[in-house]
A = this chain, B = another copy of it.
Amino acid sequence: MAANTILLDFSVEPGAVKNDNQMQVVATNIENVLKDYLTSLKQVHGLPFQGGLLRLYTADPGVTVFIRVYANGLITINMEYFKGDKDNPLLTFELSKVLEQKLQVQLASFRSKMFPPIKRGGQLDVYLSSSDERLLEYDIDKVLFEEISPYQKVQIVHSKSLGNILVLDDLQNIGESDLIYTETLMARKIENYKDKEIVILGGGDGALLYELLKEKPKEVIMLEIDEVVMKACAKYMRSICGDVLDKYDGPNYKIIVGDCMKSLEEFMKEGRKFDYIFGDLTDVPISQKHSGQLWTFYQKVLQMCFKLLRHGGKFMTHVNGICSSESVDMFKSQLDNIEPPVKFTTSKAFVPSFMEDWIFCQVFFDENKKE
């Protein structure tokens, strides 16, 4: 049940729309073709605009059609109607292809495009974005969990092909299809976690903790602020987190619910040292979407981590989509400000539920620059 917006456009030679008369003919030609599908089509408004033309139509059942002719030869047609779950679509895929072809012939158009209907206002939002704000339609068919926590909007949705996906503030976070994400974050088979002491900043989905524990570390301490995320994942993401979120401690791990900065400060006071610290915060300020304030926080966290790492220790983190190269560069430039000096390597993996390559970074002490 959603409003369906059908977008269709054509390009014609600018010579074919060079005066009002020609543009009226073009619009009327479109109207005549559309009448085969929308018999009650009726123009309710029309006006010249910006050297082009606008026309607004209505038709049964509750359809609006907006035609805009641009002076440069582009013609856009936007149709909209409300489709109940049991209603037949206004145009099936096959019919819409026929309509597109008919109009292309009628308009002598050299280029045309018909978009799949855009579903709006339904119970399910099937549209998410890539890291560089590209529109991606998922085959999401269920919302399994939704709650506004004190920190963020927490959702677990089901995708027919990708399985369950954790979505935080409308950003894909991790999916059941994304073992590659966790394995690339931890550089499995490259790093050796046996008997190591490890801290995870964030990691509320439990996947990193679950995979690290398989490598027999001495201890993993996970610092996650949002219990809502952990409870949701413990229930709906068990294929990626197993039972590690069922209780907050185990023989070789501990989950501390709270602000990670506070715990890091306590570790400092206690003089604790670690072999690995993971940056798996749900809200890393590397996206274009985030402000300077978060960068300052992240810088502070990073600086603290390097005080807590043993000689030879590493800070491992996800960064951003490969498409957001500016924010990846911004992350790297942050590393220049760390004391003592650090070096880094990067890795990448295509993460199915993100539908893009993701960049990961492994940061370690620069021994050459050490005094």
Residues of chain A having any CB pair with chain B under 8 Å: 3, 5, 7, 9, 11, 44-45, 47, 49-50, 54, 56, 58, 62, 64, 66, 68, 70, 72, 74, 76, 78, 80, 82, 93, 111, 113, 115-116, 118, 120-121, 125-127, 129-130, 132-139, 160-161, 177, 288-289, 321-323, 350, 352, 355-357
**Partner among B113, B133, B160, B352 whose Cβ is within 8 Å of the Cβ of A120:** B113
Residues of B within 8 A of A133 (CB): 93, 116
Q: A9-B120, A135-B137, A137-B134 are in contact. Are A64 and B74 (CB under 8 A)?
A: no
Nearest neighbor of A115 in chain B, beta-carbon distance = B135
Residues of B within 8 A of A138 (CB): 134
Q: Is the CB of B160 within 8 A of A93?
A: no
Nearest neighbor of A96 in chain B, beta-carbon distance = B133
Q: Is the CB of A54 within 8 A of B47?
A: no
Q: A161-B323, A177-B350, A357-B161 are in contact. Are A7 and B137 (CB under 8 A)?
A: no
Residues of B within 8 A of A160 (CB): 323
Q: Is the CB of B54 within 8 A of A49?
A: no
Q: Is the CB of A136 within 8 A of B80?
A: no
Nearest neighbor of A325 in chain B, beta-carbon distance = B160
**Partner among B111, B113, B139, B355 whose Cβ is within 8 Å of the Cβ of A127:** B113
Q: Is the CB of B132 within 8 A of A74?
A: no
Nearest neighbor of A321 in chain B, beta-carbon distance = B161
Residues of B within 8 A of A116 (CB): 129, 133-135
Give bound CA distance, A111 to B118, whole Å.
17
**Partner among B3, B56, B68 whose Cβ is within 8 Å of the Cβ of A70:** B3
Q: Is the CB of B82 within 8 A of A62?
A: no
Q: How far is the CB of A6 from chain B (nearest CB, A)?
A: 12
Q: Is the CB of B139 within 8 A of A132?
A: yes
Residues of B within 8 A of A54 (CB): 44, 56, 58, 64
Subset of 9 A-B contacts with CB under 8 Å: A3-B74, A70-B121, A93-B288, A113-B120, A113-B121, A139-B323, A161-B321, A161-B322, A350-B350
**Partner among B62, B76, B321 whose Cβ is within 8 Å of the Cβ of A80:** B76
Q: How far is the CB of A321 from chain B (nearest CB, A)?
A: 8
Give bound CA distance, A31 to B77, whole Å.
23
Q: Is the CB of A11 within 8 A of B121?
A: yes
Residues of B within 8 A of A161 (CB): 321-323, 356-357
Q: How far is the CB of A123 from chain B (nearest CB, A)?
A: 9
**Partner among B7, B115, B120, B289 whose Cβ is within 8 Å of the Cβ of A93:** B289
Q: A137-B135, A289-B93 are in contact. Are A115 and B113 (CB under 8 A)?
A: no
Q: How far is the CB of A174 from chain B (nearest CB, A)?
A: 15
Residues of B within 8 A of A58 (CB): 49, 54
Give bound CA distance, A127 to B56, whole Å.
26
